[in-house]
Amino acid sequence: MSSQQPAPNANAVPDTQLGLTEDQIELLRHGQQAVAAAGGGSTSSRAASRASSQGLLLMDTSSLTALGRHFDRVMQSIQQRLEYLMEQSQIVTLSVYDQAGNLIDNADAEIARYHDIMTQIDELELDFDRIGQIREIVRGFRQRAEELERELERSGGGSSSSRRHGGSSRRSHGHSSSSGKRRT
């Protein structure tokens, strides 16, 4: 171990050894960096930032809970943007039908706008699904970490790691992939 590299964290694993795709690893690293940046320079945020820059994922319940909450917020933001774009898609569709007299003049612009909106919806739905997969993976890691902490406590090995962090967040992000039905 060189003097420039800090000692590896016992609660960290290389993110490349988690069985994830490159895309999932990139999302995981980005999420961990975002959580670290939001931590305001605390010890845990510096540890998360350092682990992320070394290609490691912190596997303690506190870090996994923060990462899970980050992905919940990202998915909520995507869901809100999807709802907005779907409303805009409906407005565009109604606009095309309501302005039949001006249809020929405005059709190309409205159709281009409609296709742009549908492309954005497709991209956001893909992002939503990818973030959902990562969020579920993080939940699984957190559950495993909590089980390990409980086992350590039962075996007498748990000292200060007996802190319990908030309950599981079970929110449903209602979302249907019905954009294909609207395409013309």
More confident: 12 or 102: 12
The pTM of this model reads 0.62
Predicted confidence (pLDDT) at residue 55 exceeds the cutoff of 50: yes
> Hey, what are 3's tokens?
């003097």
Type of residue numbered 75? M
Percent of the chain's residues with pLDDT above 90 = 42
What pLDDT, on a 0 to 100 scale, did the predictor assign at position 107? 76
| Ranges of H-type helices in the chain | 22-38, 43-53, 61-98, 103-154, 179-182
Percent of the chain's residues with pLDDT above 70 = 74
More confident: 184 or 15: 15
> CA 137, CA 178: separation in Å to the nearest integer?
26
Residue pair 79/128 in contact by the 8 Å Cβ criterion = yes
| Residue with token string 């912190």 | 58
Range of lowest pLDDT (33-37, 46-50, 95-99, 109-113): 95-99
What pLDDT, on a 0 to 100 scale, did the predictor assign at position 157? 59
What pLDDT, on a 0 to 100 scale, did the predictor assign at position 10? 65
Range of lowest pLDDT (87-91, 101-105, 118-122): 101-105
| Residue with token string 């409609």 | 114
Q: How confident is the model at residue 111 (pLDDT cuts 50, 70, 90)?
A: confident
What pLDDT, on a 0 to 100 scale, did the predictor assign at position 84? 97
Q: How confident is the model at residue 46 (pLDDT cuts 50, 70, 90)?
A: confident
Q: What is the CA radius of gyration of the chain?
A: 22
List the Cα angle 37/38/39 in 5-degree steps: 90
Residue 177 DSSP SS3: coil
Range ranked top by mean pLDDT from 106-115, 138-147, 167-176: 138-147
Residue pair 54/15 in contact by the 8 Å Cβ criterion = no
Of 55, 73, 56, 54, nearest to 65 by C-alpha is: 73
- First-last CA distance in the chain: 60
